[in-house]
Structure 1
Amino acid sequence: MRLLLMSDTHLPKRAKQLPAPLLAELPRADVVIHAGDWVDTATLDLLESRSNRFIGVYGNNDGPELRARLPEIARADLDGLRVGVVHETGAAQGREARCATRFPDLDVLVFGHSHIPWDTTAPTGLRLLNPGSPTDRRRRPHCTYMTAAVKNGELTDVRLHRLPPREPADG
């Protein structure tokens, strides 16, 4: 099972559309995961219509329309792997312990908010993944997203993908 992970798309504020390399991954993904801060419903409509299976949550920048369609926290069993999705996890310091306490029933937690890629494992075994943002790199050198695979309850082949530079939304 192939996963496509993204967060913090902020469309159309940060970019006019999702980057072409990310869109090209959609048909190859068995499950598309978005960890919030969409800003527009058009991106949700696009991902729902072009995904084999979709899991998403709302973020702090998402208004009532998105909050009515998405949960704050999502959970799914993916071939025996217990996956959770949430937008915010708080400060980087202490994140592993805090998330392991909050989500003791998960194997993997996908989150967003910071726009900074993250891949660590808590002492309890909880894997924490933040795919960064495909449209707003903030203090990072590249916009990013992640792919991964799930087989027999194991997460494998986690990859961070860097996107080429883009023109600003206004330019």
Structure 2
Amino acid sequence: MRLLLLSDTHLPKRAKALPPQLLDEVPRADAVLHAGDWVDTATLDLLQTRARRLIGVYGNNDGPELRARLPEVAYAELAGLRFGVVHETGPAQGRERRCAARFPDLDVLVFGHSHIPWDSVADGRLRLLNPGSPTDRRRQPYCTYMTARIASGRLTGVELHRLPPRT
């Protein structure tokens, strides 16, 4: 099973559209996980029409229309792994401990908010993934997103993709 992970798209505030490289990944993924801060409903509509399966949540910059359509936390079982998606997890310091305590039944937690890519393991069991942002790099050198695979009940091939600078 192939996964596409993204967050903090902030359209149309930070960019006019999702990068073509990212859009090319959408139909190849068995599931797209978006960890919030869409900002516009058009991006949600676009991914709903192009993705085989979309799992998303709202973020702190998402208004009433998006909050009416998306949960604050989403849960899904994908190829035998238990996933959670949430926008905010709080400060980096203590993140693993907090998330392991808050989500004791998950195998993988996808989150956003910081625009800073993150890949760690909490409590020896919970994989924490933040794909960064494909449209707003903030203090990061690149805009980013992640892909991953699930094979034989294990998350494999987690890859952070750097996007070319916008012109």
Report if TM-score (shorter chain) is over 0.5: yes
Instruction: State the Cα distance separating 1:125 from its structure 2 match.
Output: 0.8
Which segments of structure 1 move beyond 2 Å, counting only runs of 4 or more? none
Equivalence for 1:28 = 28
Hey, what's the Cα distance between the residues in 2 that align with 1:138 and 1:152? 36
Equivalence for 2:38 = 38
Q: Superposed, which structure 2 residues align to 1:81-160 within 5 Å?
A: 81-160=81-160
For residues 37-71 of structure 1, give each alpha carbon's deviation from its aligned partner in whole angstroms, at most 9, with x where no partner exists. Answer: 00000000000000001100000000000000000
Count of matched residue positions in the alignment of Structure 1 and Structure 2: 167
Instruction: State the Cα distance separating 1:85 from its structure 2 match.
Output: 0.1
Hey, what's the Cα distance between the residues in 2 that align with 1:164 and 1:21? 9
Equivalence for 1:67 = 67
State percent identity of aligned pairs.
78
Structure 2 segments unaligned to the other structure (5+ residues): none
TM-score calculated relative to the size of structure 2: 0.99
Structure 1 segments unaligned to the other structure (5+ residues): none
Question: Which amino acid in 1 is paired with 2:55?
Answer: I
CA RMSD of aligned residues (A): 0.6
TM-score calculated relative to the size of structure 1: 0.97
Retained in 2: the 8 A contact 1:100–1:124? no
Hey, what's the Cα distance between the residues in 2 that align with 1:111 and 1:63? 18
Equivalence for 1:54 = 54
Hey, what's the Cα distance between the residues in 2 that align with 1:124 and 1:157? 18
Instruction: State the Cα distance separating 1:152 from its structure 2 match.
Output: 2.6
Instruction: State the Cα distance separating 1:153 from its structure 2 match.
Output: 1.9
